[in-house]
Structure 1
Amino acid sequence: MSPLRTAFVTVPVVLGLLGTAAPAGATGSAAPRPDRPLTCRGQGVDPGALVRHRAETVIDAPLSVIWKLQTDVERWPAWQRPVTSVERLGHGPLRPGAAFRWTTPIPPNPATPATRLDITSTVRQIERRSCVRWTGPATGEGLLIHGVHVWTFTPVGGGVRVSTEETHTGAEVEANVPFATALLREGLEAWLRDLKTAAEARAPHHDTR
């Protein structure tokens, strides 16, 4: 699950900011799309979730490089600053049932003291160099969110289109859906920017095999 990221880092602020305006979304190549929900092997995000967002970007790098960055989860901290640690709860490549636990700090805010958010993600569906779907809880002081996250990878002219969609459920995020959705949007778009930066820095141009 994800993101996570900015969404998970700042979502406790929702408890202290109910009734305030949601922050403006990040700008860039990532953007929501109006078509059908993303799926991996026929499974998508939570259809009943109130908090959801979809974003995508095109990365000018080989699909093999992008896939390795995204699925070599233990190395996430090397290119995602908000991720402070990752622990695989098993061995071998990611496959259905594989799980990993990762952490990100939560700075002090009006709702909670400084703490750490612990996220446990379990892969439910995966197709090599095509898609991955994971689910799981994120817990912190006074916070419990369940996320469902889908990623797809599609070669296109100019690179690889990476699309991502995520839903969150839980009392804290559902207390202010517009604010929680804005935070989720910022987190997903930041993840895509980091993935694009890392992949394009590691790969020769114009090779999307």
Structure 2
Amino acid sequence: MNTITNTIAVAALVGVSGFAALTQTGSVPMNVSTNPAAPVACSKQIIINARPDKVWAVLTNINAWADWQTDISKPVLSGPLQPGTTFDWKTGGAGIRSTLHTVAPNHSFGWTGKTFGMYAIHNWTLTEVPGGTQVSVDETMQGLLASLFKKSFNKNLATGMQHWLELLKAEAEK
């Protein structure tokens, strides 16, 4: 395959998996909000019958993601769980390096990044509710490929995010 075809294939895999938090080196923003004007955007919620600290422990144990998140392999956090720390992982066969931007225990967790002219923001919010935790996840992608493949990326992102939430629920409720 040529470089353009490879780029499109990787971008499609990112969209299919619903995780576009890819990164290159550079400054790390803190507490980043998703972009409401981005061509690719999705928000999902689920109620998990577990306390926020239990959900947080599962969600932020990046090194164990592959144990319960069937779309992920080889996740490795490169340092402490704090803004600026990177982690590497694979999804859909694509290797990804992400950078944490928000780590607020039992409440907010997020990462951001760039690749192939795309910029993505992925944020999680945990809210205690009667009987458990409401988990909200938001992601936006922007850039040339996100604009070109807007329809398929939006569809695949929604499917991927719903799958991630269902797997997180199953793991946190064990």
Q: Give the structure 2 partner of residue 146 of structure 1.
A: 119
Please tell me whether residue 74 in structure 1 is matched to residue 63 in structure 2. yes
For the 8 Å contact 2:75–2:87, the answer to whether it is kept is yes
Please identify the structure whose Cα radius of gyration is greater: 1
Distance in 2 (alpha carbons) for counterparts of 1:130 and 1:147:
21
Query: What one-letter code is carried by the residue in structure 2 that aligns with 1:78?
Result: D
Cα RMSD, aligned residues only: 2.1
For the 8 Å contact 1:120–1:137, the answer to whether it is kept is no
Please tell me whether residue 56 in structure 1 is matched to residue 45 in structure 2. yes
Structure 1 residues without counterparts, runs of 5 or longer = 1-5, 12-40, 106-115, 202-209
Percent identity (aligned): 28
SS in 2 for 1:182: helix
Q: Give the structure 1 partner of residue 5 of structure 2.
A: none
Deviation for aligned residue 1:144:
5.6
Please tell me whether residue 171 in structure 1 is matched to residue 158 in structure 2. no
For the 8 Å contact 1:9–1:117, the answer to whether it is kept is no
For the 8 Å contact 1:7–1:180, the answer to whether it is kept is no
Distance in 2 (alpha carbons) for counterparts of 1:164 and 1:10:
16
Deviation for aligned residue 1:54:
0.3
Change (3 A) 1:125 1:185: same
Higher share of residues assigned helix: 2
Structure 2 residues without counterparts, runs of 5 or longer = 1-11, 18-29
Please tell me whether residue 89 in structure 1 is matched to residue 78 in structure 2. yes
Distance in 2 (alpha carbons) for counterparts of 1:42 and 1:96:
9
Q: Structure 2-normalised TM-score?
A: 0.78
CA-to-aligned-CA distance 1:8-27 (integer Å, 9 cap, x gap): 2638xxxxxxxxxxxxxxxx
Query: What one-letter code is carried by the residue in structure 2 that aligns with 1:170?
Result: G
CA-to-aligned-CA distance 1:143-165 (integer Å, 9 cap, x gap): 66431011000000121000000
SS in 1 for 2:120: strand
Distance in 2 (alpha carbons) for counterparts of 1:62 and 1:123:
23
Q: Give the structure 1 partner of residue 103 of structure 2.
A: 126
CA-to-aligned-CA distance 1:48-94 (integer Å, 9 cap, x gap): 3110000000000122211011111010000011101112222x3x1
For the 8 Å contact 2:52–2:106, the answer to whether it is kept is yes
Distance in 1 (alpha carbons) for counterparts of 2:107 and 2:15:
28
CA-to-aligned-CA distance 1:72-118 (integer Å, 9 cap, x gap): 1010000011101112222x3x111111011123xxxxxxxxxx312
SS in 1 for 2:34: coil
For the 8 Å contact 2:83–2:103, the answer to whether it is kept is yes
For the 8 Å contact 1:99–1:121, the answer to whether it is kept is yes
